[in-house]
Structure 1
């Protein structure tokens, strides 16, 4: 059995060198190199590597590593567009933010938030159309909204 670090390196190499559009496609490519893993293991690896999906017009989506395959400005702009495209609403409860998205957009909106590396945001958990964002203790709603509007100038809040 091949090691995890070797597999992660191979996943990065495959994603950098081609437009992979599905986990099934990536599983097949890994198997061709002798890495036979389950979809659940691949899903955990993609999360660990912070792999996201970028829209490619009518061709669907393809995987991208954070900060790679495009210039940094283009990557940032793509993530802003992903956020804007999927965002519906934002509500707070304590240090939790509940973000509603269009169906199927929660992962790309959460990935965009994580990619921005907002200092007051500890992390996100995404479902299909809902994201839970955990804010650092002591972060006010107003401060988070102000910071978010710096990353996404067209953002108007809840």
Structure 2
């Protein structure tokens, strides 16, 4: 399957969130597994354009991550979007629902995904709702606390 650069780079972000990726070949292998044909040279260009950096892994070695400044900028955007659009927050076990003003859901879900939160499995947004699915019940509590802390009180 062919994937445009913008879509591929968004997919690479999600792979970084879900996997510890140590080498460019790991990106190629994961994309190929998912039916996306890509060369190592393309991945190399994507890494440069996305300004990915290698950071120390907990178990030793290094893995790819989004640049810290981009995460800080994303957090600022997330905080601003939440404060402009937030309606309510609720949870059930591993799932957290953030209700927002109409039209804000997709942007908020994207910003939440870009935060690379360890306990977050995925965030899905429609017009006025974001569903965050966390890896554990404790992760859902941490996620709710993160969102609450970003809101101006």
Q: Per-residue deviation at 1:125?
A: 1.1
Structure with larger RCO (C-alpha < 8 A, sep 6+): 2
Matches within 5 A, 1:109-148: 109-139=108-138, 141-148=140-147
Structure 1 runs, 4 residues or longer, greater than 6 Å off = 65-68
Structure 2: segments with no counterpart, 5+ residues: 14-49, 52-65
Alignment partners' CA distance in 2, 1:102 and 1:118: 23
Number of aligned positions between the proteins? 101
What residue number does 2:2 align with? 4
Structure-2 change in CA distance of 1:74 and 1:138 (3 Å): closer
Alignment partners' CA distance in 1, 2:136 and 2:102: 30
Structure-2 change in CA distance of 1:99 and 1:45 (3 Å): same
Aligned residues: CA RMSD: 3.2
8 Å CA contact retained: 1:118, 1:147: no
Map Cα deviations across residues 75-124 of structure 1 (whole Å, 9 max, x no partner). Answer: 43223212222221111112111111100000111112112122111111
Structure 1: segments with no counterpart, 5+ residues: 12-43, 51-64
Is structure 2 residue 92 aligned with structure 1 residue 93? Answer: yes
Structure-2 change in CA distance of 1:84 and 1:153 (3 Å): closer
Q: Per-residue deviation at 1:46?
A: 8.0
